[in-house]
Amino acid sequence: MDLSPELLAAIEEARGQRHETRRATVPALEARLYTPIPCLDHGFVRVIDYMGDDGAVVQAARVSYGKGTKTTRDDRGLIRYLMRHRHTTPFEMCELKLHVKLPIFVARQWIRHRTANVNEYSARYSVLDREFYMPRPEDLAVQSRNNKQGRGQTLDADQAAQVLSLLRADAMQTYDTYSALMDRFDLARELARMDLTLNFYTQWYWKIDLHNLLHFLSLRMHPHAQHEIRVYGDAIGEVVRDWVPATWEAFEDYRLGGAFLSRQALTCLRRMLDGEAVSQEDSGLSRREWREFQRVLRGGAEGK
């Protein structure tokens, strides 16, 4: 991860500031403020600001449920109840603002989550840096035969080297063309950028509430998510674990480590518990649903 002198100076200045406040703060997240978490080869995630903590979730819930008790144990129990029963509104009371540097193709996946406030670096106004994503050799794989949007077997060392050479040459050539269009022809930046490949890096500020952030993470930390966006999901997960530990514990237990079963799958499970031998043919489940159901029973929760 390479940081420009300007960004390093801005980070040092921001981390040197102190602000007196009466609002709730989280020491573990305060320690993370402004500091980049490396992602991929040139990318990062860094916390710019946040609002609320586990207590804010509890506070919002008790507007409806009454004051009740206020011990840490009861707060944890309430958060787990909310997560378990998908009472999501109290989690919307917390917000997180991130600065993210990421490849354009990852950004195009990411922006599908339309529940955040986003302000992206403008290549109409500014010139993009000569920074592009190059996968590690072990992350290069053939198209999966079973999953139309996934990877299969890893390329051998010779094939991986050839692929990386082609990718690097294309990115270098397109950036040279990008520069020439602006320097030699004075072409507008908004037009010159169209020649760049999708592995070039962009940046944005991304602000989202905790409920929608957890939904984002449930999808983007999943083993079936594309590796490159999963790297960012894992990095943000570390941040959320520090920020709202009780909420994160409940999220791990009920969302990441839990499983959703259809009515037909629950019926099969009840029949099995009654000692009945159930097969796919008499389960009422399709072959794919049956495989997913078996995977859940064997300890691998199935999600999207």
Say if residues 209 and 91 touch (Cβ distance below 8 Å). Answer: yes
Question: Rg (Cα) of the chain, in Å, rounded?
Answer: 23
103, 198 in Cβ contact below 8 A? yes
CB count within 10 Å of CB 209 equals 20
**How many Cβ atoms sit within 10 Å of the Cβ of residue 131?**
17
- 220 catalytically annotated: yes
- Choosing from 32, 46, 220, 230, the catalytic residue is 220
| Pairing mode, strands 117-120 and 37-39 | unpaired
Q: What contacts 15, CB < 8 A, 6 or more positions away?
A: 33, 34, 35
Alpha carbon distance 192, 173 (integer Å)? 13
Residues 211 and 115: beta-carbon distance below 8 Å: no
Tokens of 72: 């840490």
**Structure-token match 């990852």, residue found:** 106
- Torsion sign, CA atoms 208, 256, 231, 196: negative
For residue 294, the 8-state DSSP code is H
Q: Which two tokens stand for residue 182?
A: 């602006």
Residue 99: its H or E element: strand 95-103
Contact 302, 265 (CB under 8 A): no
Q: How far is it, in rounded angstroms, from Cα 168 to Cα 106?
A: 18
| Catalytic residue ranges | 220
